[in-house]
């Protein structure tokens, strides 16, 4: 992964990479389909210590994905102009990210979740000066993890899991004491592929 000093340099590099990358759809399970559109924000923050990615820990009382690590995001609303508008709105609602603090640089193919959503990952560069204020009704914490580690595909593992009574496999990555898995890990792998990162996750299901 490159390391740039400015938001502008990151915007230029990511925009160029994502503009030419093929958009490939992925899913939690093979054969899943979903009718509910949603969007998440993959926020990349240039820091002096290296670029970071913004994550949330979902609130413990939520009916779905309680306590899990995810990107800010949610279902698209009728008045959202597009996936980017939905992702930015949700990030503003969940973590207080000002709309002007994020510059959208592209998006990935859709990711279909076992919970019935067709999620569009929207990639944006976030100002390092941005301040977060979480909505405790949805989010327990907001934090950042290093992009360079997350973009190394060999750091991921494919493990057997059971969700909603269905047995299958999901991707996991361990980073700084946190476990990122499921759709969030899957979308990170999509980003790594779009940026030209090589290598394959370790398959522990065999």
**Contacts made by residues 31-36, CB under 8 angstroms, sequence distance 24+:** 32/112, 32/113, 32/114, 33/112, 34/112, 34/113, 34/116, 34/117, 34/118, 35/116, 35/118, 36/75, 36/116, 36/117, 36/118
Q: Is the confidence at residue 203, as pLDDT, over 90?
A: yes
| pLDDT tens readout for residues 106-162 | 999 999 988 889 999 999 999 999 999 999 888 999 999 999 999 999 999 999 988
Strand partners, 117: 36
What domains lie within the chain, and their CATH numbers? 7-147 (3.90.79.10)
CB atoms within 10 A of CB 170: 20
Averaged pLDDT of the chain = 91
Give the model's confidence band at 32: pLDDT under 50 very low, under 70 low, under 90 confident, else very high: low
- DSSP string of 128-151, one letter each residue: TT------TTTEEEEEEEEHHHHT
Tell me how far apart the alpha carbons of residues 49 and 148 are, in angstroms, rounded to a whole number.
Answer: 11
Q: What is the pTM of this model?
A: 0.94
């Amino acid at each position: 992964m490159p390391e740039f000093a400015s938001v502008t340099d990151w915007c230029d590099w990511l925009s160029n990479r994502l503009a030419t990358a093929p958009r490939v759809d992925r899913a939690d399970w093979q054969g899943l389909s979903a009718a509910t559109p949603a969007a998440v924000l993959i926020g990349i923050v240039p820091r002096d210590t290296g670029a970071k990615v913004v994550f949330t820990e979902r609130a413990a009382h939520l009916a779905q994905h309680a306590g899990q690590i995810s990107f800010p995001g949610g279902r698209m609303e009728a008045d959202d102009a597009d996936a980017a508008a939905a992702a930015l709105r949700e990030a503003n609602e969940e973590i207080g990210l000002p709309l002007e603090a994020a510059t959208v640089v592209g998006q990935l193919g859709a990711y279909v979740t076992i919970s019935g959503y067709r999620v569009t990952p929207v990639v944006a560069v976030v100002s390092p000066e941005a301040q977060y204020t979480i909505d405790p009704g949805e989010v327990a914490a907001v934090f950042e993890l290093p992009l360079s580690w997350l973009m190394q595909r060999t750091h991921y593992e494919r493990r057997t899991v059971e969700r909603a009574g269905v047995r299958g496999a999901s991707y996991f990555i361990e980073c700084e004491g946190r476990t990122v898995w499921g759709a969030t890990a899957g979308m990170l792998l999509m980003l790594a592929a779009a940026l030209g990162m090589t290598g394959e996750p370790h398959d522990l299901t065999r």
